[in-house]
């Protein structure tokens, strides 16, 4: 598995080796020793999956402390643009984002560490999106940032008139209204 750095040091792309022949393919989607060498010790406790059609944008979501989550995300079917926004107080990359295309063909995965808001938009006709989380979903800690905040400058690669968001995501606060997540060693 190849580990690729992004513009934000803690956000990583994992590119697995895919072994294929006329029967199909095989790959490792997660291997603890390689993962921990790159990002540290992580204990995944929950797996999630969603299916969406072209233009559906989910995000930008995060959980407030002490329920922050790190996520290893991948596309099982289709293609998405995946975005991670640094909301860690005091971080040198606070307010910056990484955007990575993920698709079922390349099988690339993105590590979104704790302290990042996360979202994706579907670029293909449909997409099945899966992710491993290192903390349980806690509804009382659910939070977000508005997907189209000009201060973030995210190019979602989809015409804004074709983007479809939930009512909740349409009403999320702007980045300037978010206090940021303060991460400590015990989170």
- CA–CA separation, 97 and 11 (whole Å): 10
Whether 53 is a known active-site residue: answer no
Catalytic residue among 62, 97, 118, 131: 131
Q: Is residue 159 part of a domain?
A: yes
Q: Is residue 121 part of a domain?
A: yes
Q: Which residues span the domain enclosing 16?
A: 2-177
pLDDT tens figures, 60-105: 999 999 999 999 999 999 999 999 999 998 899 999 999 999 999 9
CB-based burial label for 36 (10 Å; 0-12, 13-18, 19+)? exposed
pLDDT tens figures, 137-178: 999 999 999 999 999 999 999 999 999 999 999 999 999 998
Q: Is residue 184 part of a domain?
A: no
pLDDT tens figures, 29-64: 998 999 999 999 999 999 999 999 999 999 999 999
Whether 54 is a known active-site residue: answer no
Using the predicted structure, report yes or no on whether residue 184 has a pLDDT greater than 70.
no
pTM given for the model = 0.92
The CATH number covering residue 171 comes to 2.60.120.10
Q: Is residue 186 part of a domain?
A: no
- CA–CA separation, 149 and 29 (whole Å): 33
Torsion over CA of 52, 68, 155 and 129, rounded to 10 degrees? -20
Considering the chain, what is the average pLDDT of its residues?
A: 94
Q: Is residue 182 part of a domain?
A: no
Q: Is residue 183 part of a domain?
A: no
Q: Is residue 187 part of a domain?
A: no
Region label for 150, one of left (φ > 0), alpha (ψ between -120 and 50) or beta (otherwise): alpha
Catalytic residue among 54, 61, 62, 136: 61
Q: Is residue 99 part of a domain?
A: yes
Q: How many structural domains is the chain composed of?
A: 1
- CA–CA separation, 184 and 114 (whole Å): 11
């Amino acid at each position: 598995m190849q580990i690729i750095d992004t513009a934000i040091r803690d956000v990583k792309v994992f590119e697995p080796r895919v072994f294929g022949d006329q029967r199909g393919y095989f790959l490792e989607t997660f291997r603890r020793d390689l993962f921990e060498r790159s990002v540290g010790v992580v204990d995944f406790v929950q797996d999630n999956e969603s299916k969406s059609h072209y233009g559906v944008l989910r995000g930008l979501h995060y959980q407030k402390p002490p329920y922050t989550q790190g996520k290893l995300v991948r596309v099982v079917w289709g293609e998405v643009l995946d975005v991670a926004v640094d909301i860690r107080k005091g971080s040198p990359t606070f307010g910056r984002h990484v955007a990575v295309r993920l698709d079922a063909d390349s099988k690339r995965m993105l590590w979104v560490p704790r302290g990042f808001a996360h979202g994706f938009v579907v670029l293909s006709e449909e997409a099945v999106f899966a992710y491993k989380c290192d903390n349980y979903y806690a509804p009382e800690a659910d939070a977000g940032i508005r997907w189209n905040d000009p201060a973030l400058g995210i190019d979602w690669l989809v015409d804004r008139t074709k983007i479809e968001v939930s009512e909740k995501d349409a009403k999320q606060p702007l980045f300037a209204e978010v206090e940021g997540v303060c991460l400590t060693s015990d989170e």
